[in-house]
Amino acid sequence: MGKTFAISSAKTFAISSAPLEEIIFGVSFLTALGLLKLPFEEIGGNPVPTFIFKDRPFFFHAFLLCLNFAFTGAVITIYLRLGYPKVARHCRRLAIASIATAGAILVWLAVP
């Protein structure tokens, strides 16, 4: 009966925490793919999208870095959530903080 409870709680843990990591994974992946379709201009030798980051390469690079951390944290969380839940929890926090920061950067630039 103890084993059934452990399996049951592991399934409950996987079901209750899986959607957020998978959403962050999907959003960050699709955003990165979407960035490739935007028109770019060269600023200081670096391509910067003209859509929202025009003349703001620092914010674009910060956005990319946050997107990268969100993607990496989500992938590591998905991979480790059953075997190493404590490590997965920290990676999940990294993913959540990074995607929130990336969203904050977009809001900061979009609101005049």
Contact 34, 102 (CB under 8 A): no
Cα dist. 101→76, 95, 104 in Å?
A: 19, 10, 5
pTM of structure? 0.78
The SS3 call for residue 40 is strand
38-80 pLDDT tens trace: 999 998 888 899 888 888 899 999 999 999 999 999 999 999 9
Of 65, 62, 69, nearest to 109 by C-alpha is 62
1-48 pLDDT tens trace: 443 444 555 555 444 444 699 999 999 999 999 999 999 999 888 889
